[in-house]
Chain A
């Protein structure tokens, strides 16, 4: 039996004796070492970056495409970071194809001017179509193949702190064919010209766009206060038949009200796409705006309503459940209409619902929305923010902001 220590020092030294007898190097557990290396060796960044910029791309196609996957070449470090390029080829589970390339100069005039070129080819084999106008029936779903190829060049200039102007010019080749969704009838078997302009023959367009944006959101990628107001006018000129030239005006108004230190927010969006034509011209059905789906009327199926004009109103109440997850209650309303003069709040379709938004660094990277309407309910899982700049329908490329 060892003697009791005589002093406090001795008692402490005995503890040290005990510890000294079992000293061993400090180590970390295997899970901890894995997570440490994941960060220190930048494994996620390397996977994300790929091999010399070659990597796998996922998603970012269109609602209804299914899961999309494909190779992407992406570099942001060319010319010392003054040139970014991206080449992507995506194929979805529903055999939709999207190939895209762009080169951008993002740092002109101290970052206030952006210029770039863009090329796109899409072949969406089974886009849903429910018929023209607001009275189309849910049971009238048909499908069509949409193909387009676009090249364009454009740029943007930050004129003032909150104000940006932009423009783009390009050429568009379009094609429409029978849809190949199993169990759905092809649109060309249900509709014919002139009920559905462009169903029998497709044309090529020149496309010229001008944009004005006033953006005072506190954080454009994860706004909690402020607003973003955009007006974009596009002129499409039919270069083959001279029958399908039209103008399209896109309006997008977003407003955010944060309260209780922005852990509660109201977010509103009003969006409209209005087309008009000169005498003897019409808007091809595949270039007309649509509503319904993950971005506007969430209680309806994607592309549920289509006509020459569309408007939608969305309001969300968002609250922080914990720092990485927000809840949302939402109400949507919207309609399509043949004439601009019918742009009003009468005969709106509506839906309500709830959702969850997973955030990292104040960015929504995943959202789940469940919408209810008189046509039933719909569940959407999307890897984006609901108010990201996406136009109505599949035919448009994202607005220039």
Chain B
């Protein structure tokens, strides 16, 4: 019994002492941000990030409910997140447009190259168009035309639909003649020495870039974010110079649940280096907005080459799997090594048959991902399964893959991975959501049934009168029709899922009841 009790993990209230609900709950938007204009730019080390996360345990690893959410369990619209497709169905056009508000670089004049990166494995340009807009231009590797640019485009649109802040990216095609070198541009050589860029440097970079059948170069043009870049955010702790950043990142629901979204799109590069804090303006106040970026290493792409088969399967290093491999002489074959990948250079290595959302892992441990609980996974999974087959295909089309088979394959993989995520996450908590009161009666949707994953069966409902100050719930056996003034708690359970419940809180002013809180509860299975 003790052991059994020891593994009971019931979600608790997210807000600690004081009343469970305030009058303004649920808050859908973060309060207006405070001025963060004194925040300074700082750069992190990706080497350190790897070693620190691989061999140490940064952040708070307690299994506590997610923070940074309202009483419905949703992150509030603001600097980190925005409730989008799940809450307000976006049209196909909106999904395809994603974060695009400005448009691709203007073609009314040649693009001015104002920055060049030639060394290293990811060459690229910075260009300004005739409207003086700055874009970062990145390419596909020679091995795999369309792969990285398509992956970036598709992942960018999917993460946008899921509510994350992402930059405005475009696929562009151009020739050498479309570029002209701006005066005074410098380039760093392999030793970090700067020298003026020559026209030949531009041509040399383009030698490393595949061309299409019309001789054009294809690239991702990413519009510079509208503010001052401050460097990446970490997946633990808070920014010490941001008054609005009060919730430890490792406990933010949007970051914990990003694990599920990352698994979907195989964003194994989901680490600090691929995020960016930007000092932006909101009604005259400078605040820090948090972006996901550099998504060219998603789906089957490893940016500069195809993804490795290991991608998403295992950390780059972990003691236990390494020991298993060492002592079994490799006779133990990891699950991910059995995957079959099609010979499609524009797709890279992406598949759905052996994909297992519960086993998926980024390149190295991510504190927020490790802190995720079943309700975090459910929160993201419900958004992912809400994206229909047709919508996925429409988003995949924004990758502008020239091979229709590659496009079909990619969409089919995303659909199958989506369904695996739904099945896995909906098995861990009662997949009941979209609570509403219709005609004075509490209604909900069984998402597992709705999406064809097998419903939870008959749901039992028990009402309680809820004391908001003390948190005490008293069973209420009478029928709730006229909604007396006060707080009410509905406890939903299903006989097929005895260890899972959902609590729905309703506040009534005596006339119009309103749902103010939702909590998914579960009990871990015996170890």
Contact = CB atoms under 8 A, between A and B. Distances in A.
B329 interface: yes
A8 B316 contact: no
Contacts of A20: 34, 243
Contact of A26 (B15, B239, B309): B239
Nearest to B190: A45
A9 B240 CA distance: 21
A39 B50 CA distance: 14
Given A35-B45, A327-B325, A26 B40 contact: yes
Given A42-B191, A260-B338, A322-B316, A35 B246 contact: no
A5 B314 CA distance: 45
Interface in A38-78: 38-42, 45-46, 49, 77
A23 B240 contact: yes
A108 interface: no
Size bracket, chain A contacts: 35 or more
Contact of A327 (B19, B71, B329, B339): B329
A7 B316 contact: no
Interface stretch (B23-31, B86-94, B289-297): B23-31
Interface in A312-340: 317, 319-325, 327, 329
B22 A6 contact: yes
A5 B190 contact: no
Contact of A8 (B25, B308, B337): B25
A28 interface: yes
Contacts of A15: 246
A16 interface: yes
B338 A327 contact: no
Given A323-B316, A324-B317, A329-B329, A32 B45 contact: yes
B318 interface: yes
Interface in B186-230: 189-192, 200, 230
Contacts of A13: 31
A264 B22 CA distance: 59
Contacts of A24: 240-241
Interface in A235-269: 260-264
Contacts of A327: 325-326, 329-330
A268 to B, nearest CB: 17
A35 to B, nearest CB: 4
B42 interface: yes
Contacts of B22: 5-8, 10-11
Nearest to A9: B31
A322 B38 CA distance: 43
B243 A39 contact: no
B330 A320 contact: yes
Contacts of B334: 263
B494 interface: no
A12 B68 CA distance: 10
B220 to A, nearest CB: 24
Given A16-B246, A25-B241, A322 B46 contact: no
B243 A7 contact: no
A4 interface: yes
Contact of A27 (B19, B42, B243, B316): B42
Interface string A151-189: 000000000000000000000000000000000000000
Contacts of B246: 12, 15-16, 18-19
Nearest to B309: A261
Contacts of B38: 23
Q: Which 7 A-B pairs have the closest CB atoms?
A: A319-B330, A261-B309, A36-B45, A32-B48, A260-B337, A42-B192, A35-B45
25 contacts: A5-B18, A6-B22, A7-B22, A9-B31, A11-B15, A19-B244, A22-B240, A23-B241, A26-B40, A29-B48, A32-B45, A32-B48, A32-B52, A35-B47, A36-B44, A36-B47, A45-B192, A49-B190, A80-B200, A260-B338, A261-B339, A262-B309, A264-B333, A319-B329, A327-B329
Given A26-B231, A28-B42, 7 more contacts: A18-B246, A19-B244, A26-B239, A27-B42, A28-B48, A263-B337, A327-B326
